[in-house]
């Protein structure tokens, strides 16, 4: 049987390194890299900030669902998912049905620092960012923990993180092939 190339979905909170890790892992695997935020922006012809302001968060979550359900190739991709994509009920299961899911994790301090200058995350904008971030993270953590493998991206060399993600992916890829034979 030809080796199957199930998609790898990188999930986790904003600022945990999904895009950077995704790019390097995709290169190692010879897969395409997709970023759900970017794909949605392209499809909509407007930025995430505009979508939140004009259509609201529920509409954005619906766009994320449509992207997962049919908006991207079924295999051979590393998909860096927006931080809230797996959070609405049923979404994690939908993503898990499409490929291998790995959650990246970082301390609140690292997330605060990494997201400090960016302006494209409407949920993390405004006063008292730290409190907002802590509240949002606490609400989401149970879902992130259910994803299966969580990989820490704090204070570790990038090549180590990439090797860890690749190791987990290859283990789960075999399991995936068995289940989807
Ligand atoms: C969001 C995270 C963002 C983006 C949007 C909402 C969230 O993606 O999808 O601003 O709900 O956590 P990143 O995780 O890539 O920053």
Q: Using one digit for the tens of pLDDT, what is the confidence trace for 16-32?
A: 999 999 999 999 999 99
Q: What is the CA radius of gyration of the chain?
A: 16
Tokens coding 143: 């879902």
* pLDDT at residue 144 is higher than 50: yes
The response to whether residue 95 sits with its C-beta less than 6 Å from ligand 1 reads no
Please tell me the distance from the alpha carbon of residue 1 to that of residue 24, in angstroms, as a whole number. 27
Distance 83 CA to ligand 1 centre (A): 4
The domain 7-179 is placed in CATH, from the list 1.10.260.40, 3.40.190.10, 3.30.360.10, 3.40.50.300, at 3.40.50.300
Q: Is the CB of 35 under 6 A from ligand 1?
A: no
Cβ neighbors of 156 (< 8 A, separation 6 or more) are none
For the chain, what percentages of helix, strand and coil (3-state, to nearest 5) are there? 55, 15, 30
Asked whether 84 lines ligand 1 (CB < 6 A), one says yes
Is 3's pLDDT higher than 70?
no
Q: Where are the domains of the chain?
A: 7-179
Of 14, 16, 168, the closest CA to residue 99 belongs to 168
More confident residue, 116 or 9: 9
Nearest atom, ligand 1, residue 49 CA: 10
Say if CB 4 and CB 180 are below 8 A apart.
yes
Q: Which residue did the predictor score with more confidence, 78 or 109?
A: 78
- Read off the pLDDT of residues 149-180 as tens digits, 9 standing for 90 and up: 999 999 899 999 999 999 999 999 988 888 87
pLDDT tops 80 at residue 126:
no
Rounded CA-CA distance 28/30 in Å is 6
Q: Classify residue 141 by its DSSP letter.
A: H
- Answer whether 22 contacts ligand 1 (Cβ < 6 A): no
Interval between CA 37 and ligand 1 midpoint (Å): 7
Atom of ligand 1 nearest to the CA of 40: 9
Which neighbouring-strand residues pair with 152?
Answer: 105
> Phi then psi for 147, rounded to 5 degrees?
-70, -20
Mean pLDDT, to the nearest integer, of 24-41?
97
What pTM was computed for the model? 0.95
Confidence of residue 107 (pLDDT cuts 50, 70, 90): very high
CA 131 / ligand 1 centre spacing (Å): 17
CA 49 / ligand 1 centre spacing (Å): 10
């Amino acid at each position: 049987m030809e080796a199957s190339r199930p998609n790898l979905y990188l999930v986790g909170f904003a600022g945990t390194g999904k895009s950077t890790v995704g790019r390097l892992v995709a290169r190692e695997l010879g897969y395409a890299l997709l970023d759900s935020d970017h794909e949605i922006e392209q499809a909509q012809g407007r930025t995430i900030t505009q979508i939140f302001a004009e259509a609201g968060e529920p509409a954005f979550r619906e766009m994320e669902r449509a992207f997962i359900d049919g908006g991207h190739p079924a295999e051979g991709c590393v998909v860096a998912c927006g931080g809230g994509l797996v959070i609405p009920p049923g979404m994690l299961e939908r993503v898990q049905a499409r490929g291998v899911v790995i959650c990246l994790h970082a301390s609140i301090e690292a997330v605060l620092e990494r997201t400090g200058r960016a302006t494209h995350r409407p949920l993390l904008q405004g006063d008292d960012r730290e409190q907002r971030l802590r509240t949002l993270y606490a609400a989401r953590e149970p879902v992130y923990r259910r994803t299966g493998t969580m990989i820490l991206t704090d204070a570790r060399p990038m090549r180590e993180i990439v090797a860890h993600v690749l190791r987990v992916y290859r283990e789960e890829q075999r399991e995936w092939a068995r289940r989807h034979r």
